[in-house]
Structure 1
Amino acid sequence: MTWTRLFVSEYFPLFVAFVAIVPLLAGWACYRVAMHPRLVAVFVPRDLQTSYLGALTLPFALFLAFMVSDIWNRETLYAKTVLQEVQKLDAMLDVARVCGPVCAPIDEAVGVYARALARYEWDEGWVRPQAEVSATFEALVDAIGRAEADSAIPTYIRSVLLTGQIELRRLRTDRYFILHADLAPHRWIVVMVLGLLSLVGLAALHVGKPYQLILGLSTFAIAFSMTLAYTVVLAWPTVDESIIPSEQLRRVLE
């Protein structure tokens, strides 16, 4: 079990909600500390320069911006890979149907594999190749293997089918790599630490000032919470079917 499997499951919405609550709880804790009588008695906020807060928030904003940019780029690459899978499946259906009744098992195997992909892997939440999809792919490999041994099928069709099988395996591996390439846990730890430090800096500038604290901490904590939750959701991409021609998608799934 990978660390991502601990979060991505049927409880994924609860995980996103938990992540969103953390900045809000941290903001509330900073408010309580900043309003503590002992701290108010000894701490003088005016001794801090306003640049102090900027020195904390700037690294946080830059790091989060770069992280979100990487995730967006990865989601585009993921969608492009899925589109290539659909196009390859569609092309293999064309070849199998041109081949005629003798290639009917390949036609059926391609359709079963496409439907398994759509159900188990072309969706938000999967973190590794699913056994159900692997089984249908092996069935496709077997069907193409039998076609390779059938002299009634022209050589060029057998070659195209074998090339398509190899390409489908590669695209599936690429999709898995794209999903995991930028999900290192340390990125999320750095974002959380920088965000919490920013909350501490904001509270330090307004120690003993309840209205300024409430306004400053609540707005920053809400913005931090929404951005973090949205980033977590984006981290596990799903297929946007609008980018795939509907007729082509329907053809490989029916």
Structure 2
Amino acid sequence: MMPLLDLFIDDYFAWFVAAIGAIPLATGLLCYWGAMHPRVIAIFDPRDLQTSYLPALTLPFALFLAFMVSDIWNRETRYAQTVLQEVQKLDAMLDTARVCGPTCANIDEAVSAYARALSHYEWDEGWVYPQPEVSQAFDTLVSTVAVAEADNTVASHVRSALLAGQTELRRLRTDRYFILHADLAPHRWLVVLLLGVLSQVGLAALHVGRRPQLRLALATFSIAFSVTLAYTVGLAWPTVDESIIPSEDLRRILE
């Protein structure tokens, strides 16, 4: 699924989520058409089905989707914690650069530029891979830290703190990428779709030829399936909730 997502994820993420949410509606219409087809009505009697038939289909769907959403929420928390650590590390590097004085003015500017690049390109919904603009800003930061590291007029403890901060920022960015991709296995989404469609088939089978009951059952389930699936897809690409980050810290690293 990931190569396909890359085509839509940057500029058309909302449309992509809407398209995924439309799949259950389309399959619901298909099930409705099949259940109302004259040939199906002629040869199929829904009374032949056991009462446990539908729960046997819907229970695995509900459980699997619940566990999947729980995993995504846990990952959202880990992602937010990683971003918060990035903000704190950027803030600490700004403090270190300003303690260093005019000699580290370039580092101050490079840290702020890197923070703005992160905020604009990667701390955003739909981010799926390292953006070149952020990588370029980080390379600039590495270069300025290297200049300070070679400058003997800069105190050794300041140089060590800047180098450690640079290393930590690289690690945190890698952690964000890992957290985002670790649980996006394509087969999980296919299983959710398959179980949901099977549940729609079960609803249609129980109401073959019964137009009002069939419309109500398929409409309510398909809408719930569509909204839940679209919401889950939207959650799958975390975005930064700035309310979890102290506003003063966020303003300080971005200005």
Smaller-chain TM-score bracket:
over 0.9
SS of the residue corresponding to residue 6 of structure 2 reads helix
Instruction: Return the alpha-carbon distance in structure 2 between the equivalents of residues 3 and 225 of structure 1.
Output: 20
User: 1:38 Cα shift?
Assistant: 1.5
1:186 aligned to 2:197?
no
Using the size of structure 1 for normalisation, the TM-score is 0.98
Instruction: Return the alpha-carbon distance in structure 2 between the equivalents of residues 19 and 101 of structure 1.
Output: 53
Matching residue of 1:210: 211
Matching residue of 2:52: 51
SS of the residue corresponding to residue 49 of structure 1 reads coil
Instruction: Return the alpha-carbon distance in structure 1 between the equivalents of residues 35 and 162 of structure 2.
Output: 68
User: 1:3 Cα shift?
Assistant: 3.9
Matching residue of 1:101: 102
1:117 aligned to 2:118?
yes
Q: Structure 1, residues 184-208: CA drift from partner, whole Å, max 9, x if none?
A: 1111111001000000001101111
1:243–1:152: structure 2 CA closer, same or farther, 3 Å change rule?
same
Q: Percent identity?
A: 72
Matching residue of 2:73: 72
Instruction: Return the alpha-carbon distance in structure 1 between the equivalents of residues 47 and 156 of structure 2.
Output: 83
User: 1:4 Cα shift?
Assistant: 3.2
Instruction: Return the alpha-carbon distance in structure 2 between the equivalents of residues 15 and 139 of structure 1.
Output: 34
1:129-144 matches, cutoff 5 A: 129-144=130-145
Matching residue of 1:150: 151
Aligned alpha-carbon RMSD (Å): 1.0
Instruction: Return the alpha-carbon distance in structure 1 between the equivalents of residues 15 and 113 of structure 2.
Output: 33
SS of the residue corresponding to residue 2 of structure 1 reads helix
SS of the residue corresponding to residue 111 of structure 2 reads helix
Q: In the comparison of the two structures, how many residue pairs are matched?
A: 254
Unpaired runs of 5+ residues, structure 2, are none
Using the size of structure 2 for normalisation, the TM-score is 0.97
Q: Structure 1, residues 170-190: CA drift from partner, whole Å, max 9, x if none?
A: 000000011111111111111
* Matching residue's letter, 2:38: P
Q: Structure 1, residues 198-227: CA drift from partner, whole Å, max 9, x if none?
A: 000011011111111011000000000000
Instruction: Return the alpha-carbon distance in structure 2 between the equivalents of residues 58 and 173 of structure 1.
Output: 37
Instruction: Return the alpha-carbon distance in structure 2 between the equivalents of residues 34 and 222 of structure 1.
Output: 18
Instruction: Return the alpha-carbon distance in structure 2 between the equivalents of residues 148 and 22 of structure 1.
Output: 56
Instruction: Return the alpha-carbon distance in structure 2 between the equivalents of residues 36 and 86 of structure 1.
Output: 59
Matching residue of 1:13: 14
Instruction: Return the alpha-carbon distance in structure 2 between the equivalents of residues 177 and 50 of structure 1.
Output: 45
Q: Structure 1, residues 81-139: CA drift from partner, whole Å, max 9, x if none?
A: 00000000000000111111111111111001000110110111221111111111111
SS of the residue corresponding to residue 6 of structure 1 reads coil
User: 1:12 Cα shift?
Assistant: 1.5
Instruction: Return the alpha-carbon distance in structure 1 between the equivalents of residues 130 and 213 of structure 2.
Output: 51
Write out the 4+ residue segments of structure 1 that deviate beyond 4 Å after TM superposition: none
Instruction: Return the alpha-carbon distance in structure 2 between the equivalents of residues 105 and 43 of structure 1.
Output: 77
* Matching residue's letter, 1:190: V
Matching residue of 2:199: 198
Instruction: Return the alpha-carbon distance in structure 2 between the equivalents of residues 236 and 245 of structure 1.
Output: 23
- Higher alpha-carbon deviation: 160-169 or 3-12: 3-12
Matching residue of 2:232: 231
Matching residue of 2:29: 28
User: 1:11 Cα shift?
Assistant: 1.4
Matching residue of 2:242: 241
User: 1:6 Cα shift?
Assistant: 2.7
Instruction: Return the alpha-carbon distance in structure 2 between the equivalents of residues 206 and 4 of structure 1.
Output: 37
